Structure 1
């Protein structure tokens, strides 16, 4: 639905014009029908899975549609809306499987999402000559402003993750303080992605950057292994 709303703008974008809807591979009417159908199926399924998850799904769907039709043009707020969407996803997943999720972990999710979104906005500004043509809110950003915001958010991410590993709730839940040893891995991963953003100009597609950049992928793998080694003996 978002691609349909931005269709004309995306057709002028060097990357987005290759998307299925933008390139014409998928028609507007079938895309709209599919989008609305998936929304309905998703929310209906959420209702039968878990009532609280259903509420989270409704809020998420409403928020994303508000973003698509109105909120995406509000500077800074547009970043927060998209980032909060990731928080709702994480919280929704926790509700489905019936586990309590740490507030610090939700904050980490929000901050990491902000970081990735800001890096992507920076990439968009540098990629095209008139960024406001492709996204109205981009006219209010500049590489310098986004650089400063990225600096604040990455610092806050490290601090919040550190607090998560050291919080009494985390220590009590997992029975160990050794998660603190994963902090350097997280810092390396953030620094490596900053390298991709500023040296490789690869922030346009974070999901591709993670797969293609071997050091970043390796750091993610090491982090997962470290978590498993620290927590597995406790269960």
Structure 2
């Protein structure tokens, strides 16, 4: 093992506060915030060129990504503070810095306040055009709504309501996508909401399924709502959502106004990669009981990562080459 890895392990073992704080902020999960780029990838400017080629537009979306990372990390800190006792009954989460006692609660509270106190004001000015701030605060309102729903309503209320807990998890992904459109004043199409909504529900249901299998008999002591679900019911929901997601994306590639349609709907070439990625994820969920953390699964499964990257390369190539 290399010396830097040994040094990092030593810091973790000794409970080095900055390292433990960073771990609690979940930098690996920041990949979820890449949903903010979705609208910019498929949108076009007035001249018909892909919007992601514009440096200013890309910079604004990247700024939105950073602000969502800050807000999401603050929410992770709040969730871990609220669930600290329940996490101690979890076979994996009991090793988290707060649950294990390596990170003081006071440090987590201060960090959450600083992150939110910085991210929210910046969100209200990132797309400000010099006129009325209240008339140009769509992105700020979207981020504020995300924080309220995910950080407050979910942590203290919605996660204890069956079905509503899954919809709230899915809503977090949809809000990221919507916010990415709002920061650039891109029209939010029904295809954007349907495709991202179905994908988000699939990820949320897979998360619940993984938790049920991991906790099994100890589910009640960690999260009471898990007793309201059964594996057959969750599997049936996943099947419905997958079918709807694939159908919605296929229709999007063939009917959306921003997609090329001559000499044929070229974006149809990306459908097999989307289907493969979904099936691969489903395979990992069932065969290896994964799905509890989509970010970790994406980072450690090369086949899943490769299929998504291939989808991205082909989609960008089609948008660059083919006219609308």
Q: TM-score range by the shorter chain?
A: over 0.9
1:225 to partner: Cα distance:
1.1
Q: Provide the secondary structure at the position in 1 that maps to 2:258.
A: helix
- 8 Å Cα contact 1:21-1:28 kept in structure 2: yes
8 Å Cα contact 1:102/1:164 also seen in 2? no
Distance 1:135 1:3, change over 3 A: same
Q: Does residue 284 of structure 2 align to residue 196 of structure 1?
A: yes
Q: What is the rounded CA distance, in whole Å, between the counterparts of 1:175 and 1:5 in structure 2? A: 55
Contact kept, 8 Å, 1:164 with 1:170, in 2: the verdict is: no
Aligned mates of 1:91, 1:163 — CA distance in 2: 20
Structure with the higher helix share, 1 or 2 = 1
Matching residue within 249, 254, 265 for 1:166: 254
Deviation at 1:96, TM superposition (A): 1.5
- 1:186 equivalenced with 2:274 (yes/no): yes
Q: For 1:174 and 1:78, how far apart are their aligned partners in 2?
A: 43
Quote the offset at 1:176 in angstroms: 7.0
Aligned residue for 2:114? Answer: 37
TM-score normalised to structure 1 length: 0.93
Q: Extract unaligned runs of 5+ from structure 2.
A: 1-77, 128-136
CA contact (8 A) 1:102 1:170 kept: no
Query: Of 124, 127, 139, which residue of structure 1 is paired with 2:227?
Result: 139
- Computing the radius of gyration from Cα coordinates, the structure with the larger value is 2
- Whether the 8 Å CA contact 1:174–1:231 is kept in 2: the answer is no
User: What is the RMSD computed on CA atoms of the aligned residues?
Assistant: 1.9
1:118 aligns with 2:205: yes
Deviation at 1:171, TM superposition (A): 2.8
Q: Distance in 1 between matches of 2:262 and 2:153?
A: 39
Alpha-carbon shift at residue 201 of structure 1 (Å): 1.4
Structure 1 residue ranges, 4+ long, deviating more than 6 angstroms after superposition? 172-176
CA shift, 1:172, in A, is: 6.6
How many residue pairs match? The answer is: 235
Residues 131, 138 of structure 1: 8 Å contact kept: yes
C-alpha deviation, 1:188, in angstroms: 0.7
- Determine the C-alpha separation between the residues in 1 that align with 2:100 and 2:261: 49
- State TM-score, norm by structure 2: 0.69
Q: Which of 277, 280, 298 does residue 210 from structure 1 map onto?
A: 298
Matches within 5 A, 1:34-113: 34-50=111-127, 51-64=137-150, 65-113=152-200
How far does the alpha carbon of each residue in 1:49-93 deviate from its partner, in whole angstroms, 9 at most, with x for none?
A: 131101111211111111111111000001101111111111111
1:130 aligns with 2:207: no
Could you list the runs of 5+ residues in structure 1 that have no partner in the other structure? none
